[in-house]
Amino acid sequence: MGSLADPYALRCVSDLPPPFRPVFRFRYFNSLQCECFHVCFFSDVNMVISAPTGSGKTVLFELCILRLLSRFLLPDFRFNLVKGTLKTIYMAPSKALVQEKLRDWNTKLGPLGINCLEMTGDNEFYNNKAIHDADIILTTPEKFDSMSRHGIRNGGLGFFSDIALVLIDEVHLLNDPRGAALEAVVSRIKMLSRHGNMKSSPLASVRFVAVSATIPNIEDIAEWLLAPPEGIKRFGEEMRPVKLTTKVFGYAPAKNDFLFERRLQSFIYDILMQHSRGKSALVFCSTRKGAQEAAQCLSQTGASLGYSNPFMQSMQQYEHLREASLTCSDKQLQTCIVHGVGFHNAGLCSKDRNLVEGLFLKGDLQVLCATNTLAHGVNLPAHTVVIKSTQFFNKEKGQYAEYDRSMVLQMCGRAGRPPFDDTGTIIIMTRRETVHLYENLLNGCEMVESQLLPCAVEHLNAEIVQLTVPDISFAIEWIKCSYLYIRIKKNPENYGIKRGTPRDLLEKQIKDICVEKIHELVEYGLIWTDEYAFLLQPLEPGKLMAKFYLKFDTMKLIVKASACCSLEDLLHIICHSAEITWIQLRRNEKKILNDINTDKDGRILFHIVMGNGKRKKRIQTREEKLFLLANDCLTGDPLIHDLSLNQETNSICSNGCRIARCMREYFIYKKCYRSAINSMILANSLHQKLWESSPFLLKQLPGIGIVTAKALKSAGIFDFETLATADARKIESATGRNYPFGNHIKESLSSLPPKIDIHIEDAGNRLGKSTITVTLTRLSQAVRSNKRNFADMVVGSEEDNVILFHEKIRTQEFHSPYSVKVFVPCPQNARVTLKADLIFEEYVGLDVHKKHVISREDDLHETKERGIDKPVPAYNLPAEICLVSSRTAQTSRSQSHTEQSPLSKEVYVIEEDAAVSALEKADNVVGTRKFNNLASLEVPSFDLLPEEEYGEFYY
């Protein structure tokens, strides 16, 4: 077998240490794996491997993982894993590919005790402990980018110091718009690995291993990842286990993109007859409906030929398909299956999808028409792959656009079925003018470019927030760590720089790009820089943009928003946000949108109006469409049931909720009372897809949908209060359900936060300042459960629109009663309206709002609450006292609690010019802390939450 140092020797699994051999279910590695074996398993150098799909690149990843795990091998070859201390990060373009690897590696590496953690957004159950204990984190670049922004927030490097190996699958993703996130996180890791604090950590010697399909400029990626010559491995089509025939057919364009797709339908049958007769075939279509129509067209053609149906090879096959069709719940699929053709998309139930996959793998189903998502995650190879049109409807651009190159390569990778076939065929159907693009792609001739420049400002802000870029020199270094820097030097014209620019001038232009992005961030108050424009420090708006993963254009809208935004204003901001610009207004949607805005039944809360205040009769812009879709959805019983519009509405609500939560924190930071309260309400409404005023609030409870909610409303049960007092049998009678449905519904109320009341009292006034006590009292017993409920307690002044006090509390765990004293300046003959709000997180219809009016006439203090005179009881609770300036609007946590009562606090709200004297007076009060700098004062905190428990992963 040759020595282990011989790179061309045949490698056997027995060459590995005994604990690692069960990972592989074969005896010998193939020729590609043998050539890379020594570098993968017997060295720690960075690697870039370019090879065809299906040539066995995943095994190379596994060898690199085992190389890292070999550090836990004892001299006697016993494996002694120390969990989470050496982490591997695996990044792939799609969730499906991540989940496929997760299943595979759980099976292979699970017996070794390796803990694999998926991070894709489909699962949100991980926390800091799960990340800390994970040995392999499998994720997409976007999710890892957003998650890692929290991992190194405020300079705390978190789990990053344990990263020892980074595996990048399909690194040619760099060429797609989504490649910017991949480029950003790799550059971040490179920057951090050079940090002085990392010298003794695994991150200091982190290893990068990237694989891709055949590309011409693999050396550029190798230069970016610092791979030495021995780590660069390029393989051609000779390494593909099944030889492929590739053909790209060009067709004349039609009047529009939709008609072009429909016209291609008529060519598929002839293509299959010419290139795949009697062989299995996958036909990829851009939409669910397109896949279904293609299958129906082919099955009808086959059925019309009777016994000559080319998709039916035997009576036995026909009997299998006929029996299978009887178990199929989708009627259209059922009629297709019996003729040897099926379709596969996300619109099918899991049972039908599994049925189709099984029939195709057995060979009973000869042709399968599918959406491109089948190219990831489901192992369904075929002899022939047909890509019907290379365009899809790009939601971000609102028009048809070419597939990402990585997606095309994934679809092509399904062609050829070892060991059943020794050949495979790929057919790409495209427009005449794009034929050369796909010929270059299949032949490995397309250059991989950087996509970082268009979104560099967002990623640079994230680095400044994480303190990885503390000054302009580090910002330039960050650019130099990027793939963008490599490609600008090689192809400057592609990035707006004149070809032939001298090297010294090229370096200056690269620096200018960096300075330009920094100036944009400074202009909108996201970061701070000194007078020399050298030092860089994050400000709260910049931190929020990074935390909530917002685009810069969206953050600019928030920064420019009014301090007195209404719910309607905030919803308009969301509808103009960059996150949902992909949603466009189509001509055939205008009628239903016009009907919604006419709103004869008074369903929706807000309308599109003209300058004179009258409702518009014709919807004309995409922003108006978004506004109406959101309003229709938030009624709780939307009129729109179109699948496409429903998908767009879901996107508006999910993105809008994230944006509203960012606005909430921004307006709290700015001390803007009205905008902050409305942001909280809007975030919860978008999360639940219900306004507070909706008659279907009970939909928030498990087991209650719109039909049940309507039935309960008809019986006079329309909110949580009426449900709590309703008889269980009445609930069953109203909904037509059987016992014990009513009991279960009433029991579900226990998942809600406990009921809390707010009481506001006047505790007297002194020297023009009124003392107001705000007390929270729990009216119902808190139920202990795994789910923690949170609420924002806000006290604000209506006239000044200023937040006087804010705190986030755990509703189940605070000690009742809980009191806060607020000292409010109230000049003589003035009137101050104090408002106290308790806004529950996630739920709508539970919030508590109280108003308290303070007025002073001739030094007499008169208190009115909701127009009713109230006696003023004496409150003698010992308390901690803090001083807060209503002008500087600085907030943060108090640092100490009195031993007598940690549940009660006092807050002075003072005028700026009285700051010094007030501080001197406060120093004489028992239990009062003394501050020397008003700007550093912090609002007292009660039961504040660590980041890992609240609000860490919103996206």
Same domain, 684 and 584: yes
- Kindly state whether residues 817 and 795 are assigned to the same domain: yes
Q: Which of 333-337, 476-480, 903-907 has the lowest mean pLDDT?
A: 903-907
Least confident residue range of 233-237, 358-362, 779-783: 779-783
Rg (C-alpha) for the chain, rounded Å, is 32
Name the strand (E) or helix (H) holding 207: strand 207-212
User: Does a structural domain hold residue 749?
Assistant: no
**Torsion angle (degrees, nearest 10) of CA 469, 117, 213, 176:** -50
Sheet of 868-869, strands arranged across: 802-810, 790-797, 831-840, 848-857, 860-865, 868-869
Considering its fold, how many domains does the chain have in total? 5
Q: Is 608 found in the same domain as 502?
A: no
Q: How many whole angstroms separate alpha carbon 69 and alpha carbon 79? A: 9
In this structure, the strands spanning 207-212 and 232-234 are unpaired
- pLDDT at site 219: 94
Confidence of residue 806 (pLDDT cuts 50, 70, 90): very high
How far apart (Å, rounded) are the C-alpha atoms in residues 454 and 494?
A: 12
Average pLDDT over residues 806-822: 84
- Among 235, 258, 290, give the residue marking a domain's end: 235
Between vectors from CA 515 to CA 458 and to CA 178, what angle results, nearest 5°? 30
| Nearest-angstrom CA–CA distance, 621 and 382 | 45
Q: What is the reported pLDDT for 135?
A: 94
Domain containing 804 equals 756-855
Report the pLDDT averaged over residues 87-96.
90
| 498 lies in some domain | yes
Whose CA is closest to 329, among 349, 315, 314, 346? 349
- Separation in Å, CA 30 to CA 9, 11, 34, 214: 11, 8, 6, 18
Whether 933 has a pLDDT exceeding 80, the answer reads no
Kindly state whether residues 351 and 435 are assigned to the same domain.
yes
User: How confident is the model over 12-66, as pLDDT tens digits?
Assistant: 999 999 999 999 999 999 889 999 999 999 999 999 999 887 788 899 999 999 9
Question: Residues 461, 432: one domain?
Answer: no
In sequence order, the β-bridge partners of residue 808 are: 792
Q: What is the pLDDT of residue 861?
A: 41
pLDDT of 238 reads 74
Q: What is the C-alpha to C-alpha distance for residues 693 and 712, in angstroms, rounded to an integer? A: 16
**pLDDT, position 783:** 62
CA dihedral 8, 12, 16, 22 (to 10 degrees): 140
Label the pairing between strands 207-212 and 47-50: parallel
Shared-domain flag, residues 576 and 521: no
The CATH code of the domain that includes 813 is: 2.60.40.150
Beta-strand (E) ranges in 895-950? 904-910
Average pLDDT for 631-652: 89
Task: Tell which of 503, 526, 547 closes a domain.
Answer: 547
> What is the mean pLDDT of the segment spanning 270-279?
86
**556 and 535 in a common domain:** no
Query: Tell me, what CATH number does 586's domain have?
Result: 1.10.3380.10
Q: Are residues 261 and 391 part of one domain?
A: yes
Q: CA 43, CA 59: separation in Å to the nearest integer?
A: 16
| 83/106 Cα distance (integer angstroms) | 15
Asked if 583 and 393 touch (Cβ cutoff 8 Å), the reply is no
E strand segments, 70-154: 87-91, 116-119, 136-139
- Looking at per-residue pLDDT, the higher value among 922 and 605 belongs to 605
Average pLDDT over residues 225-234: 95
The residue with tokens 């610092």 is 226
d(CA 586, CA 604): 22
Instruction: Answer whether residue 252 shows pLDDT above 70.
Output: yes
Strand partners for 820: 774, 905
8 A C-beta contact, residue 687 and residue 693: no
- Residue 237: the pLDDT is 74
Per residue in 103-156, pLDDT tens?
999 999 999 999 999 988 755 555 678 888 899 999 999 999 988 876 554 444
pLDDT tens by residue, 475-516? 999 999 999 999 998 888 888 888 778 888 888 888 898 999
From first CA to last CA, the distance across the chain in angstroms is 51
Contact 843, 752 (CB under 8 A): yes
State the chain's mean pLDDT as an integer. Answer: 82
For residues 84 and 114, the answer to whether their CB atoms sit within 8 Å is no
pLDDT score of 353: 86
Whether residue 128 is contained in a domain is answered as yes
- 114: domain CATH number is 3.40.50.300
Confidence class for position 565, pLDDT limits 50, 70, 90:
very high
Q: Which domain CATH number covers 503?
A: 1.10.10.10
Indicate whether 455 pLDDT > 50: yes
pLDDT tens by residue, 393-444: 665 555 677 777 777 877 887 887 666 677 888 899 998 888 888 888 777 7
Q: Is residue 889 part of a domain?
A: no
Vertex 710: Cα angle to 706 and 712 (nearest 5): 115
Taking only the tens place, the pLDDT of each residue in 174-216 is 988 889 999 999 999 998 898 888 888 999 999 999 998 878 8
> Same domain, yes or no, for 688 and 657?
yes
> Is the pTM value of this prediction over 0.85?
no
| CB neighbour list of residue 801: distance below 8 Å, 6 or more residues apart | 563, 564, 672, 673, 674
Question: Residue length, the chain?
Answer: 955
Give me the residue label for tokens 């550029």: 220
- Answer yes or no: do 171 and 37 share one domain: yes
Question: Does 955 reside within a domain?
Answer: no
pLDDT digit string (tens) for 738-761? 898 899 988 888 888 888 999 999
Do residues 125 and 267 both lie within one domain?
no
From the list 391, 346, 389, 345, the residue with the least C-alpha distance to 368 is: 345
912 CB-near residues (< 8 Å, 6+ apart):
885, 887, 888, 934
What DSSP character marks residue 198? G
Cβ density class 901-917: b for 16+ within 10 Å, e for less: ebbbbbbbbbeeebbee
Tell whether 7 is covered by a domain.
no
pLDDT of residue 419: 62
Q: In this structure, is residue 433 part of a structural domain?
A: yes
The set of long-range contacts for 264-272, using a CB threshold of 8 Å and a minimum separation of 24, is 264/388, 264/389, 264/429, 265/293, 265/294, 265/297, 265/388, 267/429, 268/294, 268/297, 268/298, 268/386, 268/388, 269/297, 269/298, 269/301, 271/386, 271/427, 271/429, 272/298, 272/310, 272/367, 272/384, 272/386
How do strand 423-431 and strand 367-371 relate by DSSP bridges?
unpaired
Over 50: is that where the pLDDT of 942 sits?
Answer: no
Give the DSSP H/E element, type plus range, for residue 666: helix 643-669
Which of 662, 678, 694 terminates a domain? The answer is: 694
Same domain, 352 and 474: no
For residue 777, being part of any structural domain is answered with yes
Of 348, 313, 317, 314, nearest in space to 334 by CA: 348
Q: How far is CA 376 from CA 101, 379, 636, 904, in A?
A: 11, 8, 35, 56
